[in-house]
A and B are shown apart, each in its own frame.
Chain A
Amino acid sequence: MATAGERAKGRGAGGNGGQQSPSAHRPPRSGVGDEVGHAGHPLYRRGLLKSGISALVLFLAAGMPYAIARFLAPAASRPAPRHNAKVSPRPRNRMRPPGALADDAAFIAACIGCGLCGEVCPPRAIVFHAREGGGAVNTPYIDPEARACTLCGKCMPVCPTEALTVVPREKIDMGLAQIDRTACYPWVDRGICGACVSVCPLGERAIGFKQWNQYKPLVRKGCVGCGLCVEVCPHPSKPIWIVDRSEGSVAKHSI
């Protein structure tokens, strides 16, 4: 690339035309031809580089306080991880897919919104915050009342980021099923059902019947909160739902 000095020299020589030049048919560079052929581009590129770099440095410098603040005070700028947080007693109808990072802020930071997990989900349980969610827009969730996860495990290996990591089926933690014994048909002696027990993909270690009673369902420790029981529950008010797992105890979850 020619330096500015060389270009200036060339321009000066061109201004003198053919008088100094050894080869007479070298095109003189002056006037319009000079404008068209030479001006602008290399200077523009150098200016672009300079101001581009300075703009970059400026923006990064402006952002440094934020980045440092986030590094130094993670507890202040993001919600605490779930195992420290107070367990919400409310039913969860926006569960992250299986294998998701426990800390939802970390999940949002890791998820690039590519939609791959939804695109491989056979029951199409994984849907996305398409129009709502603020910073969590385009992140996946499962609404077990609409369509529940079948624990097929196809979403975890397909995720390109650490948002979903491959977890064995029994170690998945999407929550824990909780049964309202004041509404569930067998529990209030309004008939026989057992839909939740028969649909559970994890079987006896996750949900079973109360001993000596064939139809009153009980959630057990192995439940991972896939929500299939919620989806199939025939009761109109859905007296079974998924709640946060509180330190692995099932007893606390009985009503």
Chain B
Amino acid sequence: MKEHASTQAGTAVHKPFFLWRHLNKLRWVVLSLVFSMLVLLPMLHLYQTYVAAHAYDLLAPSEKRLYDAMELLTSPFVSDPEKQLDAVKGTTWSGTLFGLKLSDPLAVVGQMAAGLTIYWPFLVTALIPIGFTVVFGRFFCGWICPATFLYELNSNIAGWLHWAGFRIGGRRFDKRIKYGVLALGVVVSAATGSIAFAAIYPPAIIGREIYYAVALSGFGAGAAFFAGTLLFDLLVARRGFCRYLCPGGALYSLLGRYRLVRIRRIVESCNDCAKCNVVCEFGLDPLRDGFGQECNNCTACIAVCPTDAMTFVLRPTDVPPQGPGHLGRQYRRAMEKAAGEAAGRERDRGARAAGDGESTSRPEREEAA
């Protein structure tokens, strides 16, 4: 171990930028913001309608409370709530953000399939999300999706249950099922002429159902479906819907297959502790460099890594498998075995010091051999 420590110092192992291990907190802030906006927007809409009606005195007491709360919240930012609050409208499925219309790429795919036509103005609204997905991969799933907010809380509940002795939710299925769901959804949309994804895609359901519950007459059918997915995640497979069934996740995985920004393991500082594999919500294999197209850059593995062995890298494909981490027991044993087989221990130590001094990248040499 001592020798390895010295080689570490000698080869100047790449350290990740120090803020990257805090990105996971930023991600939670973003998720909470998106979710709270989805709760807030229907209330702001109600407030707008009350303002437009110019009849504060006729409101019911509960409506007056809502009016006062929303007035308190918005009065620092807007002077004419009836008009200015139109700046932010909608959900993550489709919405308006300060005049910029944004839509979920899955909505565009579903709509094209259902109508068997391409409506260009709608396609254009999905271009920015598609561009970000091509660069950042499945980032929507980890950073924006309001369902992720609830699913990760649900995963925490599953963790507590696991801690309490309930060994549930450990099933694993084939991650390719969701591509079948995507294809099936396209076919069903084309066959029935209505957008099948809208009914089974959790972020669309959540945005809508919050609006139904707050501004209209109560939850719709989608709420029951979403509760079912929560139970599925809790009782059958952790994050099961996102991992195995979500058509949106399938679409973003395909779009983000050659994403530029990806997470990479620094094999020199990895100690094979496998915390990254445990924390990965999507059941990927960061320990063995198995990110693939499914990774959503959620940075949970960066945050959890005790040796700072996870970093971002700009390249269109994953690095090839780099073998066991250099701080781990497997690598040390293999080294010792190799050293013992090659020559005497003393001679080998000398050679190692010399050899490592000139080599900067061990994995490349291994691949070359």
Contacts and interface: CB of A to CB of B under 8 A. Distances in A.
Interface of A: 1-2, 6, 10, 13, 17-19, 21, 23-29, 32-33, 36-38, 40-42, 44-45, 48, 51-52, 55-56, 59-60, 62-63, 66-67, 70-71, 77-78, 105-106, 108-116, 118-120, 122-124, 127-128, 130-131, 135-138, 154, 158, 160-162
B355 to A, nearest CB: 5
A115 B266 CA distance: 46
Interface stretch (B27-35, B59-67, B135-143, B315-323): B315-323
Contacts of B45: 119-120, 124
A130 to B, nearest CB: 3
Interface stretch (B165-173, B283-291, B304-312): B283-291
Interface stretch (B71-79, B151-159, B328-336): B328-336
B352 A130 contact: no
B94 A52 contact: no
A127 B49 CA distance: 14
Main secondary structure on A side of the interface with B: helix
A164 to B, nearest CB: 12
Interface residues on B, range: 35 or more
Contacts of A62: 187
B334 A130 contact: no
B321 A23 contact: no
Given A24-B343, A67-B190, A37 B324 contact: yes
A138 B225 CA distance: 14
B228 interface: no
B89 A120 contact: yes
A40 B292 CA distance: 12
B208 A37 contact: no
B230 interface: no
B227 interface: no
Contact of A2 (B211, B285, B320, B338): B320
B194 A63 contact: no
A158 B219 contact: no
Contacts of B193: 70, 77-78, 105, 108-109, 135
Interface of B: 41-42, 45-46, 48-49, 52, 82, 86, 89-91, 93-96, 101, 103, 107, 110-111, 114-116, 119, 121-122, 125, 175-176, 179-180, 183-184, 186-188, 190-195, 198-199, 204, 207-208, 211-212, 215-222, 272, 285, 287-290, 292, 317, 320-324, 330-331, 333-335, 337-339, 341-343, 348, 351-352, 355-356, 365-367, 369
A158 B86 CA distance: 10
B221 A131 contact: yes
A33 B324 contact: yes
A132 to B, nearest CB: 8
Contact of B90 (A60, A119, A124): A119
Contacts of B342: 17-19, 21, 24-25
Contacts of B179: 52, 55-56
Contact of B290 (A13, A40, A105): A40
Contacts of A160: 94, 101, 103, 107, 121-122, 125
B187 A60 contact: yes
Given A2-B320, A48-B175, A19 B331 contact: no
Contacts of B220: 128, 130-131, 137-138
A141 to B, nearest CB: 12
A114 B321 contact: no
Contacts of B324: 27, 33, 36-37
Q: Top 5 A-B pairs ranked by shortest CB distance?
A: A130-B220, A63-B187, A37-B323, A59-B183, A18-B342
A67 B189 CA distance: 10
B369 A109 contact: no
Contacts of A110: 111, 114-115, 119
B41 to A, nearest CB: 7
Nearest to A62: B187
Contacts of B212: 115, 128, 130
Given A25-B338, A67-B190, A105-B193, A113 B93 contact: yes
A250 B343 CA distance: 104
B198 A118 contact: no
B320 A42 contact: yes
Contact of B116 (A10, A70, A136): A70
A99 B217 CA distance: 25
Given A48-B176, A114-B208, A118-B211, A130 B221 contact: yes
Given A26-B365, A55-B183, A120 B86 contact: yes
A127 B121 CA distance: 24
A32 B272 CA distance: 13
B95 A24 contact: no
B173 to A, nearest CB: 13
A41 B290 contact: yes
A124 B116 CA distance: 31
B49 A161 contact: no
A162 B338 contact: no
Nearest to B199: A137
A124 B355 contact: no
Contacts of B367: 2, 6, 10
A109 B86 CA distance: 26
Contact of A13 (B103, B335, B369): B369
Given A55-B179, A59-B186, A109-B193, 18 more contacts: A2-B367, A23-B355, A27-B323, A28-B338, A33-B331, A40-B290, A41-B292, A48-B176, A52-B179, A59-B183, A59-B187, A105-B193, A112-B111, A114-B103, A122-B82, A130-B218, A136-B194, A138-B222
Max chain A Cβ within 10 angstroms of own Cβ: one of B82, B222, B317 = B222
17 contacts: A17-B341, A18-B338, A23-B351, A24-B338, A24-B352, A25-B338, A25-B339, A26-B366, A36-B288, A36-B323, A37-B323, A55-B179, A77-B193, A114-B103, A119-B41, A124-B45, A138-B208
